[in-house]
Structure 1
Amino acid sequence: MKLQEMFKAEKITNYNKTLGKPMFLHEFFMEVRYTDNFKISTKVNGKNEGIAINPSNFDADPILREFKEVATYDEDKIYFKEAHKLNEENRKRLFELLKMESNKALEIFVKQRFKEMAGEDGWLDSVRIRAEIMFIQLITSGKNAIKEKAVEKEIDYLHPADNKIALTGGELWTAPTTATPISDLLRWKKFNKANTEYAIMNRKTFEDMIKTDEVKNYMKEEFKITLASDEEFITAVQRKTGLQIIIYEYEAKAKETEAKKVIFPDSVVALLPRKLGYISYGPTISGIDTELGLEVEDNMSVIPKTYATLTVTFEKSGQASKIRQMIFEIESTMAPDEPDMSNLIIAKTA
């Protein structure tokens, strides 16, 4: 593996496949975009001196890992600015290998770093988890919770009120004798001419649904089944409603201080079209700061045709400049597509 390939989306994706890593929900419903262009260089006082890596298509997660986070937003996009430090040992080794120009030694080094980044416990996985948390927040509330300079904020996508449904009284799926979840799903699917294909809920909500008399009677009358498995319930409801039923059970930390739990909330059903927009991975800090009219640090090296940046901090040692710290500054964005979002139905069932 060449040094330039270490950060490429294709390499990371293929590596994940070899490990048998499952696809996250957001990777199915939102197009995943990457930026692969980067170069190897740094600048000292505006001059090209020294060597460093500018990656442009990987991300880090401050919630599950110890990384700095600064987030901001502009119109319909959320920008997460995060950082990962290359430790002293690896930085020194990389410089030595680049100076030696030993392709074999460099290849071994890159493979080791790549395993740390994209392996079973690699920190690159954290961006997928972060994107998944963002996506679940979006489809269950129409909002996202972020931090901007350590201040908690909520980004409201202003999802149409008509696309948000709240059952009451005997309609609640927790009222087994009066609730009608199959009828509800059929009604919501046709609601507002929404082009919905999938219904997503967590296991508790699913169990509320299958405990209702309506579902039990349907299973008994239509399939002569009185004691059904989850798969039989799902197949039956899918056949009746024309919706693909997904039971969401993935656990993660929604906040650093919390324990792992299923990130899809109880008593919420999200009805989705096949596509909702895109998730974009890649550092874009300097470009976004410029767009927002903010100052860009002089020691940021920007990648042509991308927003990728690397901040390098120097200290003077005699007549020579010594690199004291290298920080990859990284960013991901989520941009739901407005026409597709109009087909998202969010229903509260209890």
Structure 2
Amino acid sequence: MANIFDLVNSKEIGTYYTNNPSNSVPYLGATLFPSKKQLGLDLSWIKGANELPVALMPSAFDTKATLRDRVGFSKIETEMPFFREAMRIGEKDRQEINKAAGASNSQYIMPIIQKIYDDVNGLVQGAEVNNERMRMQLLSTGKILITANRVNLDYDYKFKAAHKETLLTTARWSDSENSTPVEDIMRWQKVIEDDTGEKPTRAICSLKTWNYLMVNKSIKLDLNPIGGQNVIVTDAMLKQYFQTKLGLSIAVYNKKYALQDGSTNQFFPDDIFTLIPEGNLGNTYYGTTPEESDLMSGNTDAQVQIVNTGVAVTTIKIPHPVNVETIVSEIAMPSFERIDSIFIATVHA
């Protein structure tokens, strides 16, 4: 008869996660910062402006940050954020597994096991959520700011001040009557092209920011000089307009994530418009977690399975009371080698 250790282990959980179709669609940031694996993870490997290592800066108390994301971590490992969460099988589920196993009937036991796998699947998905939050912070602020466990961390990628702009008064895109977004974007494209020789051909914004463009008077007049503002602009029309007018492909990214307090948040913030070039912008580097390091050295009785390039799923047998503890951990951080080819605009302050 199969016991709980046979049914719940890192290899089976890893296979379940990998084969789950819902996990096969990558986040936008994962396509811009492809995954890379390396042994350990020191900041000297993570590049920012001019290929220089990223600096870990102290964060002052009682100061207002542009964006302060609450990304959970348990400690700092080689100066990198180390994310780890764990779960145990509940007393009730354990009793149900024992009863079903005793009956030797898989149709009773598998729904219980799948529920456990789904819970762990959520932890692994949470690791990727943390990575996407960091990547989107870079694309909307040029920094990564982490607050958790009464510690503030500020990863400074040395984003150029000249590649940022905050629109004021009637220039704000929320002023649909007076703002001129096309002229703004052309100006920002020129800044990057003059500095790097590379013209940004892609952009990212939230749905709220996109809607500013949908109702903008100057854009409507350009789309229909005769009918003026009477034209009804669709998403497809506006995307084709920017592609034809500026050679610009705009991704409207409104994907959200949930926090443990039940609140939902957008990965990419409202009122920010970021211009980016073609191709990869950097990499998402995965380091060696303590669990994986123990596995490599053979100094562990736990079972460890690596998924998503560098997320460690660890299962530990607990003899009394009989249980399985599952730990999901990662050390990860994006590099940003092409940071000088990005322009970040705040279109409504």
When normalised by structure 1's length, the TM-score is 0.65
Shift in Å, 1:83: 2.7
Q: Is the 2:10–2:314 contact (alpha carbons within 8 Å) kept by the matching residues of 1?
A: no
What is the 5 A alignment of 1:102-251?
113-118=116-121, 122-190=122-190, 191=192, 192-193=195-196, 194=198, 196-221=200-225, 226-251=231-256
Partner Cα distance (2:168, 2:234) in 1: 28
Partner Cα distance (1:95, 1:69) in 2: 34
Shift in Å, 1:92: 8.5
Q: Quick check: 1:23 aligned with 2:21? A: no
Query: Larger RCO: Structure 1 or Structure 2 (Cα < 8 Å, ≥ 6 residues apart)?
Result: 2
Q: Is the 1:288–1:307 contact (alpha carbons within 8 Å) kept by the matching residues of 2?
A: no
Shift in Å, 1:201: 0.8
Identity of aligned residues (%): 20
- Structure 2's unaligned 5+ residue stretches are 1-6, 39-69
Q: Relative to structure 1, is the Cα distance of residues 312 and 336 closer, same or farther in structure 2, using a 3 angstrom cutoff?
A: closer
Q: Relative to structure 1, is the Cα distance of residues 205 and 155 closer, same or farther in structure 2, using a 3 angstrom cutoff?
A: same
Aligned length: 296
The worse-fitting range, judged by mean Cα deviation, of 182-191 and 305-314 is 305-314
Partner of 1:338: helix, strand, or coil?
A: coil
Partner Cα distance (2:286, 2:244) in 1: 37
Q: Could you tell me which residue of structure 2 aligns to residue 331 of structure 1?
A: 329
Q: Relative to structure 1, is the Cα distance of residues 248 and 238 closer, same or farther in structure 2, using a 3 angstrom cutoff?
A: same
Partner Cα distance (2:260, 2:213) in 1: 32
- Structure 1's unaligned 5+ residue stretches are 36-62, 290-297, 315-320
Code of the residue aligned with 1:230 in structure 2: it is D
Partner Cα distance (2:287, 2:113) in 1: 20
Q: Could you tell me which residue of structure 2 aligns to residue 81 of structure 1?
A: 84
Q: Is the 1:70–1:80 contact (alpha carbons within 8 Å) kept by the matching residues of 2?
A: yes
1:86-137 CA distances to partner (integer Å, 9 max, x unpaired)?
A: 4456678999999x9x9x89x958656434544xxx4433333333222222
Q: Could you tell me which residue of structure 1 aligns to residue 64 of structure 2?
A: none
Shift in Å, 1:198: 1.9
Q: Is the 1:30–1:278 contact (alpha carbons within 8 Å) kept by the matching residues of 2?
A: yes
Partner of 2:179: helix, strand, or coil?
A: coil
Q: Could you tell me which residue of structure 2 aligns to residue 277 of structure 1?
A: 282
Q: Is the 1:283–1:307 contact (alpha carbons within 8 Å) kept by the matching residues of 2?
A: no
Q: Relative to structure 1, is the Cα distance of residues 246 and 149 closer, same or farther in structure 2, using a 3 angstrom cutoff?
A: same
Partner Cα distance (2:21, 2:338) in 1: 29
